[in-house]
Amino acid sequence: MIKTTFIRFFTLLIFFSLLPIAVENSFPELDGYNLQAEEKKKKKRKRAKLPSKKAQKIMQQVQPLLESESWDEAEMMISQIAMGEKFSGTDRGVMYFYLGYIYFSTEEYDQAIDSYVALINEEEADYRQQNQARFSLAQLAYIKEDYRSAVNYLLAWIDNEEMPSSQAYSLLATAYYQLQEYRNAKTNIDVAISMAEDKDIPILDENGEETGEFKKGVARENDYLLKMAIFNELKQELDVLPIYEILVQHYPKKQYWVQLSGLYGSRDRQMDQMSALEAAYDDELLDKQREFVALSQLLFMFQNPHKAALVMSDGFSQGVIKEEEKTLKALAQYWHASKELEKAKPYYEKAAKVSEKGEIFIFLGQVHFGLDEFKSAEAAIRSGINKGQLKDEAGAYMLLGQIQFERQNWDEAIKTFRKTIDVAENQYSDKKKKEKEKKKKLQDQARKWITYTEGEEERVIALEMKRRDLGV
């Protein structure tokens, strides 16, 4: 799973990693380069070699052409240096640097490689440009799938760079990964991630101005994916949960939310599991039935049946959730638990039509009963009993008796309550304590209802007789 995910994002990694180095700020005199300050930064640093004034003039003319991507014109102008006898080795180095950039940009990779190699081999070339050429050669080698050369060029670049970037270590790790040298890959991706996370990133206000406060840095998305892929290849356990927590925070995508939710679930952290799925839902990232169903179940578990119903309803309206017995029943029960009986009723009715069991008819009967639709309630309960396969047949008879009581069908109600006692006797075992206790409780309730019904019948009859006598 992890390896597949990494490969899925691999193209993205290559695209952003293998861009040619920009050339706008390459020459000391052209960008106000402070050589003395740089000398203080690094002892024993080589002195930057400046191109001749004639070469600088050419470069000034080339710069607008590069910015406008007028590659052919830029190449012709730069090539003047190769044809002139008065140009120095430093000037030729500048030429190779720019030609390499042009060829890299136009995807003429072999010519770009030749230019950068010539730059490195030019003894009088500026050392900074030579090192930039090493990085570009590493990128080009990667493009050509020459991963060993990519590694060698990157190591040389790092060795000559005062402050190597995290991107370089990431690219180095990726090259090692392609060479199946996973331990070297692990070492370098850890460096890349640590460098990125150790940075203090300024916090900006709503106007884009720095607030003076800082937040922890974050590595690139693909660096985290590569780390997981490497550990997978090494057959080493890696607690990926913190990585997914980082990914959803900074790179919120559906697959990360879903995978994070699954990880929480495997650790019995159902509340976090629900929160992760809910975040994905709120961002409109869920698009599969199992995802909508899982979220609604978790919401119901944590006493939020109303939102559970809304999630399921949304799934139906989008066509993501199919109308089948289990999904219709689930939505009906969520509305039922939310005391939205009118909304629950049509879904119970749909589910009952396709169900082979009588259970859904019992739920439908409960809804009708709650809405004082006693005739419909009785019909539904009878259908459920006749269809059979009930989890609580005695309970169904008890409900039927109560409905008949409300309809003032006294004799029928009494018969049904007596039936409840008989069914409970057979349904529950005396050998199991809980079942024995449940049987006794239900039978006692049925007997009380019989007594109450008989009394209510007598009271109603007496009331009618009194009304007749009074002529009311």
Closest CA to 250 of 307, 311, 193, 288: 193
Spatial separation of the C-alpha atoms in residues 312 and 153, rounded to whole Å = 55
> pLDDT tens for residues 80-108?
887 766 788 888 888 899 999 999 999 99
CB 226 within 8 A of CB 173: yes
Q: Which residue has the tokens 């899982």?
A: 294
Residue 44's pLDDT is: 44
- Dump pLDDT digits (tens) for 358-394: 999 999 999 999 999 999 999 999 999 999 889 999 9
When pLDDT is cut at 50, 70 and 90, the band that residue 6 belongs to is very low
pLDDT at 353: 92
Given a cut of 70, whether residue 2 has pLDDT beyond it is no
Let me know: does 380 contact 364? Beta carbons within 8 Å.
Answer: yes
Separation of alpha carbons 463 and 383, rounded Å = 34
210 DSSP β-pair partners: 204
* Residue 279: inside a domain: no
Mean pLDDT of 429-454: 90
- pLDDT higher than threshold 60 for residue 19: no
Helices (H), 251-354: 254-266, 270-282, 289-301, 305-317, 325-337, 341-354
Report in angstroms the alpha-carbon separations of 311 from 82, 280, 287.
Answer: 69, 12, 12
Residue 236 belongs to a domain: no
Residue ending a domain, among 122, 138, 173, is: 173
| pLDDT, mean over the chain | 86
Residues 169 and 293 placed together within one structural domain of the fold: no
Q: Give the pLDDT of residue 11.
A: 37
Q: Which residues have a Cβ under 8 Å from the Cβ of 401 and sit 6 or more positions away?
A: 413, 414, 416, 417, 419, 420, 446, 449, 453
Question: Does 256 map to a domain?
Answer: no
- At 316-344, the pLDDT tens digits run 999 999 999 999 999 999 999 999 999 99
User: For the range 65-68, what are the long-range contacts, defined as Cβ-Cβ under 8 Å and sequence gap of 24 or more?
Assistant: 66/23, 66/98, 66/101, 66/102
**For 144-220, where are the alpha helices, taking DSSP H only?**
147-160, 166-178, 182-197
Q: What's the confidence (pLDDT) of residue 471?
A: 60
Q: Is the pLDDT of residue 29 over 80?
A: no
pLDDT for residue 52: 80
CA distance 428 to 432: 8
Tell me the C-alpha distance between 135 and 154, whole Å. 6
130, 157, 173: which is the final residue of a domain?
Answer: 173
Q: Beta partners for 215?
A: 201
Joined tokens for residue 292: 């909508």
Both tokens assigned to 438: 């449940």
Residue 464: exposed, middle, or buried by beta-carbon count in 10 A (0-12, 13-18, 19+)?
exposed
| β partners of residue 216 | 200
CA distance 113 to 124: 19
**Among candidate residues 113, 145, 173, the one where a domain is terminated:** 173
Query: 301 lies in which domain range?
Result: 286-470
Domain-located, residue 164: yes
Neighbours of 323 (CB within 10 A): 13
Higher pLDDT, 206 or 146: 146
Q: Is residue 122 part of a domain?
A: yes
- Range 419-447 average pLDDT: 90
Asked if residue 162 and residue 14 are part of one domain, the reply reads: yes
For 385, other C-beta atoms within 10 Å of its C-beta total: 21
User: Which amino acid makes up residue 383?
Assistant: S
Residues 300 and 165 in one domain: no
184: exposed, middle or buried (C-beta count within 10 Å: 0-12, 13-18, 19+)?
middle
With respect to residue 213, please indicate whether it lies within any of the assigned structural domains: no
CB atoms under 10 Å from CB of 238, counted, come to 15
Rounded-to-integer distance, Cα 280 and Cα 291, Å:
10
Give, as one character, the DSSP assignment of residue 338: T
Q: Answer yes or no: is 404 within a domain.
A: yes
Flag whether the pTM goes above 0.85: no
Tell me the percentage of the chain whose pLDDT exceeds 70: 88
Does the pLDDT of residue 37 top 60, yes or no? no
d(CA 88, CA 49): 11
> What's residue 386's pLDDT?
93
Tell me which residue of 265, 266, 274 sits closest to 307, measured CA to CA.
274
- Are residues 332 and 363 in contact, defined by beta-carbon separation less than 8 angstroms? yes
| Residue 139 forms part of a structural domain | yes
What's the total number of domains in the chain? Answer: 2
Q: Is the pLDDT of residue 121 over 80?
A: yes
pLDDT of res. 30: 29
Position 309 scores a pLDDT of: 97
Which band of pLDDT confidence, cut at 50, 70 and 90, is reported for residue 42? Answer: very low
Whichever domain contains 121, its CATH number is 1.25.40.10
